[in-house]
Amino acid sequence: MRENALISVIVPIYKVERYLNKCLDSIVNQTYKELEIILVDDGSPDGCPKICDEWGLKDSRIKVIHKANAGLGLARNSGLEVATGKYVAFIDSDDFIDLNMMERLYEEMVKRNADTVYCGLCRYDEDGNVIKVPMLYSGESFSDDEIVEKILLRMIGNKPENNNAPTFFMSVWHGLYSMSIIKEHNIRFPSERIFMSEDLSFHIDYLQHSQLVYVLPDCLYFYRVTQGSLSLAYDNNRFDRIKSMHLQTVKKLNLFLEEKQYQQIEMGRFLNLVGGQIYSIVRRNEKNMLTNVRKIVSDKMVQDCLHIYDYNKNPCGKRIFNFLMEKEWTVLLIFVVRIKNILAKSARGEKC
């Protein structure tokens, strides 16, 4: 009879007192019992530290780490430092998982001799509505060079002509990973306060060394969406972090890919994020809106990308937007964004 391998489950925790018990309940009651559950209290100022300690007393599989606040990525690193499992999973503390998630991921990992298995995911809102998120490559497996081409590059984005096509969900929390790869290559998360997507950074470092990846179609991870979600909140430093992420992504990809393999895809992702920042500024009707948008569109990194990126292959809306950015026609760009926001609100039945 095969002995089950230990899975380390790392849960970074910060200001989620309202949701933490539901998250931990879904982990400790997994049908797969060989778990090492590592709770990383990232200096949470609410009742989370006490909740962590209480769970630690109830279940011997739980390890609790209390540390000064440094952000999600570095909290995960604290968990990796003490993890002893053969495999590792990362769960966000305001989310929860299906009771069969670890068992299903582990079964596929062993059966297929995979380095990584991803599962499907669902969005869970404050009203209790569950919406299954369409998952690229459901039920498919990829090996060797296919992993970079089909999984990693599709996490980053798409070629200009397919700019609006679905991408592969880049969050680490719907996957099971091999600790041997992580240890051998000393893979860690950067601080999301500097590198905007710590998950993408992790995947670039990890997937280049993977030999087989499988995408399980089952929806096993429930991603909570709230009004206060970090992913939905406005960030005044976002543009600087977008630029930092672009520079670091190019630097990492250059180590194992030719520029022509990723350049248009990465530039498209960068410009999409820049466009999203402009939409946020206009939507908030900031006092210095014109100055702030002009600062973005005139930025050297943005203009350099626009001169190289083949946005003429983009769908019509993106093509017009990028053209206005390249010409630095800021007033017209803001006008177009406002019209699009009005049309979007009207389509949702909201007052304009």
pLDDT at 225: 87
Q: How many helices (H) and strands (E) does the chain have?
A: 14, 10
pTM of the model: 0.93
Q: Residue 332 burial (CB < 10 Å; 0-12/13-18/19+)?
A: exposed
HSE value, Cβ hemisphere, 13 Å, CA-based, for 178: 20
Render pLDDT for 200-257 as a digit per residue (tens, 0 to 9).
999 999 999 999 999 999 999 999 987 644 444 446 688 999 999 999 999 999 999 9
| For range 3-13, the mean pLDDT | 95
Q: What angle do CA 236, 17, 120 make, to 5 degrees?
A: 75
Mean pLDDT of the residues in the chain: 93
Per-residue pLDDT for 126 more than 60?
yes
Phi, psi angle pair for 225, to nearest 5°: -115, 120
pLDDT at 229: 43
User: Residue ranges per domain, the chain?
Assistant: 7-225, 238-347
| For range 312-331, the mean pLDDT | 96
**Confidence class for position 351, pLDDT limits 50, 70, 90:** low
* CATH code of domain 7-225: 3.90.550.10
